[in-house]
Chain A
Amino acid sequence: MKTVADFEPVLLANIGKPDSWTRRGYEAYGGYEAVRKVIGKLAPKDVAETVKSSGLRGRGGAGFPTGLKWTFLPPNHPGPIYFCLNADESEPGTFNNRVLMELDPHQVLEGMMISCYATNCKTAYYYMRCEYPLAYKRTLAAIQECYDAGYLGKNIFGTDYSLDIHLHRGAGAYICGEETGLIESLEGKRAWPRIKPPFPAVEGAFRKPTVVNNVETAACVKQIFDRGVEWFKSIGVPPDPNNPRDAGSYGPKLYCLSGHINKPGCYEAPLGITVTELIDRYGGGIWKGRKAKACIPGGISMGILKADEFHCPLDFNGPGKFGCLGLGTAAVVVMDETVQMVDYLMNSARFFSHESCGQCTPCREGTSWATRLLTRIKAGKGRLKDLDLLAEIGDTIGIMPGTTICGLADGAAWPLKNTLKKYRGELEEYIKKTNPDGWAETKPVPALKLLSIH
């Protein structure tokens, strides 16, 4: 296994070089060699098999094994089969896809071409959120360059394989990142996630078999065919022998570091790097000489790590051992000692209630209830009982009890559950301090005239 010290970035290798976003620049650094080794030379099922044996897990948040997902497509389907690239990236704290799309869009396209070939897809949709004007411009230009060069369209790279990639812009809704929400949105409807099954691999976009993969996942696919499975498996952490459900965490990963840190940014490191290493080695330490208080290990929906838990390894299995939902998007948001947990909770609850699509009652009502409770606590009208209510909301709204269609509600629940467990004392103190007369109150309080929460 490679250590952090001798790790050499590959996903970000071109970034910073001149013209890294043009085809000429990309090819000067060896771009489009991987795809030439694949298309027309290997059988699609062998390509999928290679990705499966690399152990690549999706980088979009859930960490599902990519090659395995591809094998769920019905065998010998007459087609069409669709491929959707998930470039919606709206998880607060996350910006690694943006960095790739702005500065190395061809790497993403090359990975997408290989993925489409492996899944027998001839029409692919690149679904990008509309808040990324520069990434949109560069990706659009990159796609055009590919058409001009014969890398897209009919008989690409002079083979008998044809592929079209269409760039499709979203319109400002987090839920479009959820794969079936994305599909509904692509079809021109409101982005209401679908009940699964059927899974997209069986019935997805336009009711045809569909693969949805993340931007960074596509970039990893390209790297696997450039450098080989052995190389990919030499990075990261093998499966935990004590956890039969852990498939291991292989390969390089982009970590987004933000918040109270000296050098925020997107950094490439092996899966399994710890929060401490990430902050010290790349982040330049906590800003203003302060101490860290906590961090979010992987986007706002993953819950929270306390400063004394920063030895947590950032692989797919790591944050779960510290009571978090998972690695998520590996977006580490650091908070210093001056942050009050009630503010962080309020911010995350407001986000989720704003972004809930409204289909499922527990999610729609639970997220806005939590926001109202937290608004009241923040305003100095909190009761201790409110913390029990918040805990109850956290325990009941998610997909884990099976009451919601998609994972957004779960994402809303983890910050609540986690913070109440780890910082209950602080929250109690805040309530007692700001509401000295009424904190013990258990009887109903008059409805709060809502300060606008949306």
Chain B
Amino acid sequence: MAERILTDKMIEEIRAFIPRYPSKQAVTVPALHIVNEHLRCVPRQAVVEIAQILELHPSQVQDTLTFYGYFKQDAPGGKCRVWVCRSIACALRGADELLEHLEHKLHVKAGETTPDGRISLEYAECLGACEHAPCILANDDLHQSVSPEQAEQLVASVK
């Protein structure tokens, strides 16, 4: 038996969602969010345990997980996930250069995490903040009209 990975707290949080829906399967995405928040990824063992709680086959949970770009499975995401929007309104105001600049500074490609585990650099499709283009979402903070220099400061300030 693999060691249990979900803590009692996570299980409790997941169970709290069950009464909201007429099917347990509907709790899949909330459960993935909960695990992801705690572990910064959703390892395979967590998938098995979520499936147990929701009375699903693990493949059903795995299938859902892999569909959504938000969840990571193989390794934890960085402490700070930095999403650089690359859709049209941001692209018109320099998003591509911004992303390139960060790739260069952090020595990672979009989609990768820095070796020290501080930052995952990711691209996003429209963050819905096009009036502030180009914009970056860093965890829960939206940064507006970001210049390459500001982006550099932003990633440097992540502890």
Contact = CB atoms under 8 A, between A and B. Distances in A.
Contact of B67 (A173, A331, A347): A173
A351 B54 CA distance: 34
B124 A93 contact: no
A17 to B, nearest CB: 20
Interface string A171-189: 1111000000000011111
Contact of B128 (A98, A259, A296): A98
B89 A258 contact: yes
A133 interface: yes
Contact of B64 (A91, A95, A189, A343): A189
B130 interface: yes
A339 interface: yes
Contact of A133 (B20, B68, B140): B140
Given A131-B137, A171-B70, A259-B89, A90 B25 contact: no
Please classify how large the interface on chain A is, using the bins under 10, 10 to 19, 20 to 34, 35 or more: 35 or more
A92 B140 contact: no
Interface in A102-139: 129-134
Given A132-B128, A343-B91, A189 B30 contact: no
A300 interface: yes
Interface string A261-272: 000111000000
A351 B125 contact: yes
Contact of B89 (A92, A171, A206, A339): A92
A169 interface: yes
Contacts of B133: 258-259, 264
B128 A186 contact: no
B29 to A, nearest CB: 6
Nearest to A95: B128
B22 A256 contact: no
Interface in A253-303: 256-260, 264-266, 296, 300
Given A80-B22, A264-B131, A351-B87, A169 B125 contact: no
Contacts of A256: 130-131
Nearest to A338: B92
B131 A189 contact: no
A95 B68 contact: no
A56 interface: no
B67 A190 contact: yes
Contacts of A214: none
A257 B131 CA distance: 7
Contact of A130 (B70, B91, B132): B70
B10 interface: no
A166 B20 contact: yes
Nearest to B132: A264
Contacts of A333: 88-89, 92, 130
Contact of A258 (B23, B32, B130): B130
B128 A90 contact: yes
A341 to B, nearest CB: 12
Contacts of B141: 133
Interface in B26-71: 26-30, 32-33, 54, 60, 63-64, 67-71
B142 interface: yes
Nearest to A266: B131
User: Which among B30, B32, B67, B142 has the highest number of chain A CB atoms within 10 Å?
Assistant: B67
Given A133-B140, A343-B91, A191 B130 contact: no
A129 B69 contact: no
Given A190-B63, A333-B89, A171 B140 contact: no
23 contacts: A80-B22, A90-B128, A91-B126, A92-B88, A93-B130, A94-B126, A130-B33, A131-B127, A133-B139, A133-B142, A168-B29, A173-B69, A174-B125, A188-B23, A188-B54, A189-B28, A190-B67, A191-B67, A206-B26, A259-B133, A300-B88, A344-B88, A347-B91
Interface of A: 80, 89-95, 97-98, 129-134, 164, 166, 168-174, 185-191, 206, 256-260, 264-266, 296, 300, 331, 333, 335, 339, 343-344, 347-348, 351, 354-355
Given A129-B128, A188-B29, 5 more contacts: A131-B83, A133-B141, A189-B25, A259-B93, A260-B92
- Interchain residue pairs A-B with the least CB separation, the first 9: A188-B28, A171-B68, A190-B67, A92-B87, A258-B130, A133-B140, A188-B25, A92-B126, A172-B70
